[in-house]
Structure formats: C-alpha cells, structure tokens
Structure 1
Amino acid sequence: MFHFDAEGIFEPFFLKPKYFLSPQGISNNKNLRHMMNKIAKKLMTLGTVAALAGAVSVANAETLKIGLAGPATGPVAQYGDMQKIGVMAAIDDINKAGGINGMQLEGVIYDDACDPKQAVAVANKIVNDGVQHVVGHLCSSSTEPAADIYDEEGVLMITAASTSPTITEKGFQLVFRTIGLDSLQGSLAADHILNSVKPQRVAVIHDKQQYGEGLATAVKTKLEGNNLNPVMFEGVTPGDKDFSALIAKLKKNNIDFVYYGGYHPELGLILRQSSEKGFKAQFMGPEGVVNSDLAKIAGKAVEGVLATAPKSFDQNAVNQARVEAIKAKGEDPTGPFVFTAYAAVEVMTNAMKATGKTDPFELADHIRATELDTAIGKVKYNKQGDLTESTFLVYKLHQDGSKTPAQ
C-alpha cells in the first residue's frame, strides 16, 4: 500500500501510476487497470493529496493539456512541424469557440526526435506530468513503444502519422489513428504500379526501419501476388550519404521502377545521385517523402516522382477558413500530416463534448462507438482503433514542392 522512493521518502502508492498499473504490480487485465485508474483519480479529487491534485488531475483545472509528441529535432523534424501546425490550429479554433466543457486547451510539446528510446522517455514524462490526452507519436518505431506505456497508464493517444499495423494489432484500448495503415497504403501503391505504371523490372528498397520496411514489404507482397516479382529487395542505412553501390546495382539489373519505403533525406540523395550517374527509372515512395525538403535535396530529379499520401484536405471547402488561419501565422497548411493532426484533436474533443467527460477510457468507448465529424471528414473506427476507410491517394511530386493527383 505504501511506497518509499530511493531516498527513503514516503509516497502514497496512488501517486506512482507504474506501481499499480505495471505487470509487476497488478495483472494486465485492462478492466482492473481501468478501475484502479478511476480510484486513483477519485482519491485525488477528494483531497487525499490536495497539495498535488492540481498538478496531476485536470478535472477542475481551467486548462486541459493536450500532449504533442513527435520529432521537434532530428532529420525528420519537418514532419513534426506539420503535426504541430495542425494540433495548434485545432486548439486555437476550439479555444476561440469557447473551449471544451468550460476549459481552455493548452498544447504541450514533447520532442522524441523520432527515436524509440527517446519516445519511451517522453511517454514516461507525459505520464508523470499528469497529461492524459496525447496527439502523437509520429514515427511508427517511436509510437509503438510509447503506446505500450500510454495504454498501461491510462493515457488516450491518437497518432496522426504512424501507419504500421503492428501498433494497433496489440489490442490497445486507448490508442487510435487519424491516418490509414501501411497495409492499405502499400496496397494502393502496388495497385498503381500494376495498373498504371506497368513496369518490367522492379526494385523495392527500404530504410530497414519499422515504417519503411513495413511499407516496402506490403508493396512487395502485393506485387508478387500479381505475378510481378521484384528483381531487388534491399535495405539502406538511414543517414548514409553515398548510394553509388546501390545505384550501380540498379543499373546492372536494368531496373525501370524503384519503390522506396522510408523518409525523404535518403530518397532525396538517391534521386539526385541517380540523375548524376545517368540512371533513369520511375521512383515512388510513401507519405514520408512528401515535403518540400525532398525537392531541396533532389533538385530537378524530384519531378514526376510518385508518392502515396493522405488526401489534400487543405483543398476541401470546409477547411478553407482553417487554411487561411494557418497561413496568417506564416505556416504551411499543405503538409500531409497537418489536417490529420487537426482531426486528432477533434476526435478527442468531440468525444469530450458529447460525454461531458475527460476520462480516457470513457472517451475511448465513445470514439469506438460513434461516427465523428472532423477536418478530414467523417471518421469511424474499428475495434482496434483504426479508421474503417483509407485516407490515401497517389500523387505526382514536382520540383516546386507541390503535388498533383496522379493519373
């Protein structure tokens, strides 16, 4: 019933979420964790730890904190910026409209640098900070270990960018997305390759990470199932700068189509160096390559590259006021994760409005049972927390950083 920290100082057990929610403390039964989570909140609300209740509980606070977890630094920080733009725009709009259940929202940024170890540290800090609602993480390899912590500790998490199916296959109660799965995105990419591009000799390359390799595998599997067997299936190391050996192998194998699973820094260099070495093939990638920095790295070699990405929700008439408000702040509303992040905040807050509650478990129940209106349209979830409809389209990328739907 009691806990003493490393210095021998007494702390009540209910101030240590990991103590009563961890596999070592109490069983992993989610209903039991739910009950214990509610008991702890009730004790705090009743003043058992009055000196700390204001810091831990948001029930009577004037502001409700929304954690924003993703890369604010590192090679893919631009995607974190997209997520931040969407989340903060949604918070601004909701606050201007009067807030949620008498509370104003406050966005709190946590930087995981798209690193799994740092993501675990961030998730634990979010728990210790008493934040119970999180948009993030962004990279699938960071989201998955963080999701383990959130679901165990009673924190509602909605990712606007992580597409790996394995995240939600674990049967979490408190984890959702506002973006489609790799399996759907990979299938869409493969369909376009088979039906529109119709190449002869395909190479599928990936960055050896959960997101990139997962997508590459999904594409490879669909192609093989339709009698187009990739000539090459290989990984590159994130952070590499010289892709001469890879390009030489692509040329030697007479590759006319390259699918790349990963992020823009490596693909940009592969495109530029391929152009310099006279290797000409059609390239395609996922939403992880869709941003203006790809063109900055690849130059004119980016023209005509294909990519799957969430629909251009900034073009929807219903979002035009939101788009103008984002532009007025000097920010770009066109990134693939801007409106999926905006919608993640809406999913949470729409559930809060409907239930009059902020409890993560009650919100999760409502989210699963209800079709919700958001900036990306009406969203509905299956029992795993995944969208029932895909949000992806195939685009053609251009040197000026823009994209247009592929034919």
Structure 2
Amino acid sequence: MSKFSLGSRRGLKIVAGALAVAAAVAGCSDSSESTDGPVYFGISGPKTGPSAEYGRLWQQGFDLALDEINAAGGINGRKVELKWEDSQSDPKQTVPIATKFVDDKSIIAELGDFSSPASIAASPIYNRGKLVQYGFTNSAVDFTKAGNYSWSPSITLDVFQERNAQWVSTKAKKVSVVYLETDWGKQAFSLFEKFAAQKGVEVVYSSPILPDSTDVKPILIKGREADPEAFVHLGYGPDGALVVKQLRDVGFSGQFFGGQNTPQFISLAGAAAEGDIVNGVFSPADPDPKVQDFVTKFRKKFNTDPGDFNVYAYDAVNVLVQAAKKGGATREGILEGLKTETAFTGIGLGTFAFDQETRRPKGVSPRELVLEDGKFVPTGNR
C-alpha cells in the first residue's frame, strides 16, 4: 500500500468524521428548542380585514401582559416576545401560518386564531407538529376535539347559549332571532333554539344574515311583524350594531339581546343599544380588587376602559407563561404545564384548572351584562 493511498484514506476518514459531526450539530440546531434568549409565542390573528378590530384589542391585552411579565423577569429570566402573522381570521391563511409556526423551533406555543373555523382549519397541523394551539377565543364545541395539543379557556358555545336562553326567558316568552350565516352562527342558533324551548321560550321568527350585510331591515321587519317580546342577535360586534340600529329604525322598541362587549359595538350602536343584554366574562365596573388593579393599569396605558377581548388576550399570555414556568419553556413543557397546573389565574375567569378530557376550563360560566350609559355593567347573574 503506498503512502499516498494510506494518507488519502486517513484524510477521507477525518473528513467523513468532520462531516458527520457537522451534520449532527446541524440536525440538533434545526430540531431543538433554544434554552436561552427570548421565549417566543406565535400569534395567528387578524390585523387587517373584517375582523381587524379584534386583533387591535388583542394587541392591547398582549402589550400590557408582556410589560408586566418581562418587568417581573419573564420566564426564568428570559424575555417573552411574540411573532405575529396576520391571518385576517381566514381559514385559507391560518393553514400556511400553522406550518410556518410548527417549523419555527423558537416558537413554543401558538395563540389564536380569532374565529373557531379559522382555528379548526389549522388544528391538524398543530397537532401533528406537537405545538400547543391555544385558541383563547374559540367557543365552538368541536375546537378542542382536534387533538391533545388544541386547548381553549373559552366558555363553549353550548354553555353560552344555555345561559343566553335562561336570561332571555326572564324577559320574554316569544322572540325573533337573527344569526350570522356562518358555521358558527348556525351552531349558535341551533343551540339557542334548543335551550329556549327547554325554558319555555318560543322562537316566533328566525333568519340568517350575511356577515357583510349593510341593510337587514327587510328581515327585521318580518321579525317585528311576528310580534316578539324581545329580539335576539347571535353574532359579533359590527353586525350586532347594524341590527340594533336598524331594529330601532323599523320601530321595534322592545328588549334586545346581542352584540358584544367591545368598544366598537358600543360606539357603532350608540343610543340604540341602551339596555342591551349580552353574555360576557368581564366588566370594568366589577369591584373585585384584582379586576380594578387591571382596569387602572389598562386605563393608564391606553386611556380607555378594557373589554372582553382585551382580557382574553391578557389572560392568554399569562396562562401560557404560568404553564411554561410549571412545565418548562419548551413545547412539551407548555403541554405539561397545561396538564398539571391546578390554579391558573386570570382576570376574566378568575382561578381555574383545565379539564384534561375536554381541555377547557372546569366549572366556569359567563355573566350577564347590561349596557347602561354607554358601558356594560354586570347584573349579578352568572
């Protein structure tokens, strides 16, 4: 064997060994999660499009939460930051966003999306990628059924509509109902109709309305002519404001149930919504000291009162930080924390734990809010 061939073989072995080490290092850097630097959560939510107002409210809640969390040392000294992708709450956009977040190993959990259909479309990707999907505004009953990585603190639609029907039954025995012509709206109406019948409330008229409607007066006139004692709207803030304003325009002066606890709804609806009753989780008029401390901080930062969607976002970040502190600031650590922590704390839900079968909060219920002098205040009913 020549010196040349022996040296070549030794050289090839050294090169091969170096390549193997490099490949191993590269593989680790691609697949492992960082243990230093910032801790990142991915946000899939609407910053533009028809639901952009909700993204704006989320951002306020996130900002206040991060101010407090990072001032207190973050997660074991690591700063918490967000990576936000604008989904417009569109299922066609949430799917590629989910793929991007799963592939980004610096992200240890995802928050969002705003609507249940947008979140549900992306759920298979998060579950296959073993990245917690925290759908903190997703009330659709089926959302958490996608797999062990889909979690939500949101009260489910069946609970909301059972309470809604209960509160309606104290004011009226005959109602007209309008609801969004979406999967969520249809499910909401189906549940409300069922619970209303159980509580002795007759739906004398019902009709879907398109989410982008600008004139629903013909529908509302038919609903008025059915001679209801109250009108029920199942939808969001902008369409709720449209309905209640046009409802008053066509001469219905009875009780209205609908809209949302958001500044946008209150502003758009104006005086037409005075006395409106909604399902909610939060009121800045709540005398609880913890709530009042939050309200004071929020007013100082944003010069306005907080509403439900600010609270949802604020609580969501705090819950995931609490889970990471419990289980570790990794993808599996977040999951472990959600499974094992028994006393999550929030402004909207108070202290709660997750049911491990449904991955929803145990034993929580909405509260009844009434619009008085342009502000939603609690009636005392839960």
- Tell me, yes or no, if structure 1 residue 218 matches structure 2 residue 191: yes
Deviation at 1:275, TM superposition (A): 1.4
Whether 1:277 aligns to 2:253 is: no
Partner in structure 1 of residue 361 of structure 2: 387
Please show how residues 165-204 of structure 1 align to structure 2 within 5 Å: 165-170=141-146, 172-194=147-169, 196-197=170-171, 199-204=172-177
Match of 1:360 among 309, 331, 338: 331
Aligned with 2:361: secondary structure? coil
1:331–1:173: structure 2 CA closer, same or farther, 3 Å change rule? Answer: farther
Contact 1:327 1:333 in 2 (8 A): yes
Q: Does 1:325 align with 2:301?
A: no
Cα separation, 2, equivalents of 1:294 and 1:257: 19
1:370: Cα distance to partner? 2.5
Aligned equivalents of 1:279, 1:321: Cα separation in 2: 40
Matching residue within 323, 329, 334 for 2:306: 334
Q: For the residues of structure 2 that align with 1:101 and 1:190, how far apart are their CA atoms? A: 46
Aligned mates of 1:233, 1:143 — CA distance in 2: 28
Distance 1:297 1:312 in 2: 19
Offset of 1:301 from its aligned partner? 0.7
Residue 90 of structure 2 is matched in structure 1 by 115
Corresponding residue for 1:128?
Answer: 103
Distance of 1:96 and 1:181 partners within structure 2: 33
Equivalent in the alignment of 1:405: 378
Identity across the alignment (%): 23
The CA deviation string for residues 29-84 of structure 1, in whole angstroms up to 9 with x for no partner, is xxxxxxxxxxxxxx99962346x64xx75423301111122111122322222222
Distance 1:295 1:349, change over 3 A: closer
RMSD: 2.4
Aligned to 1:150: 126
State the 1:347 CA deviation. Answer: 2.1
2:41 counterpart of 1:66: yes
Structure 2 residue 286 is the aligned partner of structure 1 residue 311 = no
Q: Which residue of 2 aligns with 1:6?
A: none
SS of the residue aligned with 1:278?
coil
* TM-aligned CA deviation for residue 245 of structure 1: 1.2
User: Match for residue 12 of structure 1?
Assistant: none
Q: Distance in 2 between matches of 1:314 and 1:127?
A: 40
Are the structure 2 counterparts of residues 93 and 182 from structure 1 closer, same or farther at C-alpha, using a change threshold of 3 Å?
same
Q: Is the 8 A contact 2:173 2:202 kept in 1?
A: no
2:63 is matched with 88
Residues 245-301 of structure 1: CA deviation (Å, up to 9, x unaligned): 10121122112212111112222112111212212232112xx62212223322211
Written as runs of structure 1 = structure 2, the 5 A alignment for 1:42-53 is 47-49=25-27, 53=30
Matches within 5 A, 1:261-276: 261-276=234-249
Corresponding pairs, count? 355
Retained in 1: the 8 A contact 2:39–2:108?
no
Q: Equivalent residue of 1:337, what SS?
A: helix
Distance 1:399 1:150, change over 3 A: farther
What is the identity, as a one-letter code, of the residue corresponding to 1:265? Answer: P
The alpha-carbon distance between structure 1 residues 399 and 391, as it changes in their structure 2 partners (threshold 3 A), is: same
Distance 1:314 1:200, change over 3 A: closer
User: Which segments of 5 or more consecutive residues in structure 2 lack a partner in the other structure?
Assistant: 1-20
Equivalent in the alignment of 2:182:
209
* Stretch of structure 1 that moved more, 129-138 or 314-323: 314-323
Q: In the alignment, what sits opposite 1:160?
A: 136
Q: 2:213 aligns with which of 222, 230, 240?
A: 240
Unaligned runs of 5+ in 1: 1-42
8 A Cα contact 1:212 1:263, kept in partner? no
Whole-Å separation in 1 of the counterparts to 2:72 and 2:229 = 53
Alpha-carbon distance, 1:319 to partner: 4.4
1:336 partner amino acid: D
- The change in CA–CA distance for 1:399 and 1:162 in structure 2 (over 3 A counts) is farther
Superposed displacement of residue 208, structure 1: 1.7
Cα distance in structure 1, aligned partners of 2:231 and 2:336: 42
Q: Is the 8 A contact 1:101 1:352 kept in 2?
A: no
1:321 deviates by 4.2
